[in-house]
Amino acid sequence: MGMKTMKADGCTLPLPFEAADLGLPSKAQGDGILKRCRRLIETTDWEGVVNRLEKPVDILCWAVVTAAALAIVPVCIRLLAE
């Protein structure tokens, strides 16, 4: 097992050359997850999802803007009245 060491503020940290030295999963297992995510992203109809959710998101944004305005206006009026 080859090791390098790195000093950071007086502490010595081992830097393993291979992920297997740390007991991490191998790259072959990680590739399966990446392939599944890539396949999900490539085969899903993202444009259709965005088009379906555009109107509800717009309504939610306007509701948040309205709530913020309703919360800020009384504070501004109180500050100006003093």
In a domain, 7, yes or no: no
Domain assignment present for 6: no
**How many folded domains does the chain comprise?**
1
37-58: b (≥16 Cβ within 10 Å) or e:
eeeeeeeeeeeeeeeeeeeeee
Report which listed range, 37-46, 61-70, 72-81, is most confident: 61-70
**2 falls within a domain:** no
Q: Report the alpha-carbon distance of residue 36 to residue 34 in Å, rounded.
A: 5
**pTM score:** 0.45
Tens of pLDDT, residue by residue over 1-12, are 555 555 555 555
In-domain check, residue 72: yes
Q: Is residue 5 part of a domain?
A: no
Residue 12 is predicted with a pLDDT of 55
* pLDDT tens, residue by residue, 12-62: 555 555 444 555 555 555 568 888 888 888 888 888 888 899 999 999 999
Asked, for residue 64, whether it belongs to a domain, the answer is yes
**Residue span of the structural domain in which 37 resides:** 12-81
Q: Does a structural domain hold residue 27?
A: yes
